[in-house]
A = this chain, B = another copy of it.
Amino acid sequence: MRRPKIDDDALFEKLLVLFRRNGFVGTRLSDIARETGLQKASLYHRFPGGKVEMARVVLERAFGELEATVLAPLREPGEVLTRARRGLRGLEAFYHGGQAACLFETLSLGEDAGELRALIQRAVQACLDAFTALAKDAGLPSATAKRRAADAIVQIQGALVLARIQESPQVFRRLIRDLPDRLTKA
């Protein structure tokens, strides 16, 4: 076989699901091999840096998707509430309606997070910036806008954690509904 058994996109999806659900240590190469249908040696051919590189690639691609489906809509020109709604619809899809954990949360756990921490921090900061800019565009003073943005991230992360514990996405769905106003209204 010269052709890949599984293409990069599908491979990325499998890795994303695993790292999201089980974190870094909790995701074993044997799991990845089983889910992708590749042997461990083949995985090392695709990711010479091993598990850490797999996690890094997943983080980078997830950040790219977040940028395209959530942050970009938030920054588009137009009416503030419309932008908020579009971005949050993207966010809802990004987290599978609250049924998927946040990669930034699960990969920030433990000491192994060291090599990935900078990447995670950058992604979270990008979210903070985008939300802040939106709240400013809504006419809120700078300090208030920053607080609203931080509140939004806090609530998103918290809702995802609670949804995981309760095994119900209800609290996350409600949040998505409420956030556009909470971010932009006086």
Chain A residues engaging chain B, CB cutoff 8 angstroms:
21-26, 101-102, 104-106, 108-112, 117, 120-121, 124, 150-151, 153-159, 161-162, 164-167, 171, 175
Task: List residues of chain B with CB within 8 A of the CB of A159.
Answer: 154, 158
Complex CA gap A7/B159 in Å reads: 37
* A108 and B23 form a contact (CB under 8 A): no
Known: A22-B111, A109-B164, A158-B158. 19 other contacts (CB 8 A): A21-B110, A21-B111, A23-B25, A25-B26, A26-B26, A26-B109, A105-B165, A108-B161, A108-B164, A108-B165, A109-B109, A120-B165, A121-B166, A124-B165, A150-B162, A153-B162, A154-B162, A154-B171, A158-B159
Smallest CB-CB separation from A108: which chain B residue?
Answer: B165
Instruction: Tell which of B22, B104, B151 touches A165, judged by Cβ atoms closer than 8 Å.
Output: B104
Some 13 contacts from A to B, beta carbons below 8 A apart, are: A24-B26, A26-B26, A26-B111, A104-B165, A109-B109, A117-B167, A121-B167, A124-B165, A124-B166, A151-B155, A155-B155, A157-B157, A157-B162
Specify which of A22, A161, A175 lies most central, judged by the most chain B CB atoms within 10 Å of its CB. Answer: A161
Instruction: Tell which of B157, B164, B165, B166 touches A158, judged by Cβ atoms closer than 8 Å.
Output: B157
* B154 and A175 form a contact (CB under 8 A): yes
Complex CA gap A40/B157 in Å reads: 36
* A22 and B110 form a contact (CB under 8 A): yes
* B158 and A110 form a contact (CB under 8 A): no
* B124 and A162 form a contact (CB under 8 A): yes
- A14 nearest CB across to chain B (Å): 16
Complex CA gap A151/B24 in Å reads: 29
- A53 nearest CB across to chain B (Å): 19
